[in-house]
Amino acid sequence: MAKTINFLDDLTINKIAAGEVIENPLSVIKELVENSIDAKAKNIVVDIKNSGYQSIRVEDDGNGMSNEDAKICFFRHSTSKIKNIEDLENLSSMGFRGEALSSIASISRVDVKTSQNELGIFLKLDRCKIIYEENIARNQGTTIEVKNLFFNVPVRKKFQKSISYTQAMINKLMINLALANPNISFTYISNDKKIFKTNENENFKQTIEEVLSSEFLDSTIEINYTNEPIKISGFIGYPLACKKNRSMQYLFINKRIVYSAAISKFIKDAYFTMISEDEYPIFVLNVYMPSNFLDVNVHPQKKEVRIKEELFIKDTIKKAVTLAFEKKIEKPQINSSLFDENNFSQNNFFEEKLILKKENVFKKFEDKQIFENKNFSKIEFENFLLKDHFLFIDPKYFSHILENKDSSLLIIDLKALLSRYLFEKIKNEDVKSQTLLVPINIKIDQIFEVIEENLENFLEFGFDISLISDSNLLINSHPSFLKEDEILHFFNILIEDIKYLG
């Protein structure tokens, strides 16, 4: 009877493995940069063309490789990170399987320059085979350039996402890498244009401002909490800064970029009723825990991790978030004489109409005096006895206010109310635009397609915008009824609603 079982050749094996390890240009960039981090690099340059499909170049000043190691590093399961299965229990490096470089080389053409001193080696590889080598002079470090990704697997290339979508995802990956490693200088270049550059050994806050924005920092509070052996640090958003998706959640466990549905839910749960069910807090969080608390050998791209001691970690996160808000919220001094039965009067507590603190809601949208519109009833507090219990609510931290009227309680969502007011103003009036003397340049990162598909909608709302790259746009004009310091806030409301409503 004829033999039906065959041994696959190495190239076929690598192509199959590449399907799990290398999904798209993001996978290539992540694997190469993580190798540079493991090599103790202090400066890393990522230079891509055509969203990485044409070329990806990653250059570092790390330890470099010897000529011998450079020749064998593209063999499958060749790695300097571990020696045996026990090493997985205390893993500190980013990579460990020895699959990435062989997978990359099997579906692209690769150039390598590396040196551990002033003398190094240059290699050209085609489908994992070295086709050219030369001794070269080079400073310590490694440069790997990947060209014509998926050139020999056209089916894989056919099912790739659009160029703009891939670019947006690469932008987010680079933000993640920079945030996870503020001690390393990252230079990110796309199509010969520098997107951002961070500085070596800058503090975490400076890195956030550089790759996200100062507006992001203004919408968050700092968090630092230790519950041995867990340490949590970073920034979490005010309830009013929540989004309709998880796009502004950046989580790092032991400096590793991960997605953890469990930890994301723990953080959301820690907000209790401060946010609604369909909202997600924004955050940039570093979580440090013993390596034996994690199993990183779960996902081919190491995107997800399995966490032990989940209940302990959930309790730690809850305490960390609660304490951060408690420290930030100023507790008002209450004059106890106001509660004296003889002096009690509603005028001691309330004015005829509700006045919102200027420094709190939507960063100055309250100047619109929204409660003077006849469509809103005057808020009254008759028969509202606060003698026994008195609750102060600061709209910056809590997204709802309470109204007691005719023995009933009305809960008002401030964020929805302010959005509704502005949208009704646009709906019922001819929107006049005001041209800015100096256009506002803002980062859009992973929402490029949303902006591009809705340019006419933004124009109807009074915003004339220009896309200047896949990650930046210019606001040239804005609705005339908005003050300058209100423009970005309302523009972000538009983006969130368009994304949410589709």
223 — pLDDT class (breaks 50, 70, 90): very high
Residue 419 has pLDDT above 70, yes or no: no
Mean local confidence (pLDDT), 98-105: 81
Residue 395 has pLDDT above 60, yes or no: no
Q: What per-residue confidence (pLDDT) applies to 376? A: 40
Residue 182 preceded by cis peptide, ω within 30? no
Q: What per-residue confidence (pLDDT) applies to 88? A: 45
Q: Which of 4-8, 120-124, 310-314 has the lowest mean pLDDT?
A: 4-8
d(CA 424, CA 435): 22
- The pLDDT tens digits for 164-219 are 889 889 999 999 999 999 999 999 999 999 999 999 877 899 999 889 888 889 88
Q: What per-residue confidence (pLDDT) applies to 356? A: 34
Determine the 3-state secondary structure of 55 from DSSP. strand
Kind and range of the H or E run holding 122:
strand 119-126
Is-contact 446 433, C-beta < 8 A?
no
Q: What per-residue confidence (pLDDT) applies to 96? A: 43
Q: What per-residue confidence (pLDDT) applies to 502? A: 52
Determine the 3-state secondary structure of 108 from DSSP. coil
Short-list 40, 58, 20, CA closest to 174: 58
The angle, 0 to 180 degrees and rounded to 10, between the axes of the packed helices 163-180 and 25-38 is: 20
Mean local confidence (pLDDT), 414-423: 64
Residue 352 has pLDDT above 50, yes or no: no
Q: What per-residue confidence (pLDDT) applies to 383? A: 38
Going through 211-329 in order, the beta strands assigned E by DSSP cover 220-227, 230-237, 249-253, 256-257, 283-288, 294-295, 306-307
- Long-range CB pairs of 272-278, under 8 A, 24+ apart, other chains included: 274/239, 274/397, 274/398, 274/399, 275/239, 275/242, 275/399, 276/399, 276/413, 278/244
d(CA 262, CA 298): 15
Q: What per-residue confidence (pLDDT) applies to 453? A: 78
* Residue at 135: amino acid letter: N
Residue 94 has pLDDT above 70, yes or no: no
464-483 residues labelled b (16+ CB within 10 A) or e (exposed): bbeeeebbbbebebbbebbe
The angle, 0 to 180 degrees and rounded to 10, between the axes of the packed helices 163-180 and 204-211 is: 170
β 119-126/109-115 pair status: antiparallel
Is-contact 36 60, C-beta < 8 A?
yes
Residue 450 has pLDDT above 50, yes or no: yes
Residue 471 has pLDDT above 80, yes or no: no
Is-contact 489 442, C-beta < 8 A?
no
CATH code of the region 430-501: 3.30.1370.100
* Residue at 213: amino acid letter: S
Mean local confidence (pLDDT), 273-277: 82
Q: Which of 94-103, 104-113, 402-411 has the lowest mean pLDDT?
A: 402-411
Structure-model confidence comparison of residues 93 and 63, the more confident one: 63
Short-list 191, 110, 143, CA closest to 39: 143
Mean pLDDT score across all residues of the chain? 76
* Residue at 91: amino acid letter: L
**Residue given tokens 């001690």 in the structure block:** 183
Q: What per-residue confidence (pLDDT) applies to 230? A: 93
Short-list 142, 150, 158, CA closest to 105: 150
- The pLDDT tens digits for 111-135 are 999 999 889 999 999 988 899 999 9
- The pLDDT tens digits for 26-49 are 999 999 999 999 999 999 999 999
User: What superfamily does domain 10-203 belong to in CATH?
Assistant: Histidine kinase-like ATPase, C-terminal domain (3.30.565.10)
Residue 316 has pLDDT above 70, yes or no: yes
Structure-model confidence comparison of residues 420 and 376, the more confident one: 420
Percent of the chain with pLDDT over 90: 31
Kind and range of the H or E run holding 166:
helix 163-180
Mean local confidence (pLDDT), 394-410: 52
d(CA 429, CA 290): 59
Structure-model confidence comparison of residues 400 and 419, the more confident one: 419
DSSP 485: G
Q: How many CA atoms lie within 13 Å of 141's alpha carbon, on the beta-carbon side?
A: 18
Short-list 491, 400, 451, 455, CA closest to 213: 491
Domain boundaries, the chain: 10-203, 212-328, 336-419, 430-501
354's tokens = 């509700």
Q: What per-residue confidence (pLDDT) applies to 434? A: 87
Mean local confidence (pLDDT), 331-338: 52
Backbone angles phi, psi at 364, to 5 degrees: 95, 10
The top-scoring range by mean pLDDT among 3-17, 144-158, 320-334, 355-369 is 144-158
d(CA 380, CA 282): 35
Mean local confidence (pLDDT), 343-362: 40
378 — pLDDT class (breaks 50, 70, 90): very low
Structure-model confidence comparison of residues 370 and 443, the more confident one: 443
- The pLDDT tens digits for 9-20 are 665 555 444 445
Residue-by-residue DSSP string for 346-402:
GGGT--SS----TTTGGGTGGGG-GGGSTTSPPP--TT---SS------TTT-SEEE
Is-contact 241 253, C-beta < 8 A?
no
Q: What per-residue confidence (pLDDT) applies to 425? A: 66
Residue 229 has pLDDT above 70, yes or no: yes
Q: What per-residue confidence (pLDDT) applies to 18? A: 47
Residue 33: CB partners within 8 Å, gap ≥ 6? 44, 46, 58, 177
Residue 374 has pLDDT above 50, yes or no: no
CATH topology of domain 212-328: Ribosomal Protein S5; domain 2 (3.30.230)
- The pLDDT tens digits for 241-273 are 888 888 899 999 988 888 888 888 999 999 887
∠ CA 285-289-293, nearest 5°, is: 125
d(CA 471, CA 330): 38
Structure-model confidence comparison of residues 151 and 341, the more confident one: 151
Percent of the chain with pLDDT over 70: 67
355's tokens = 């006045």
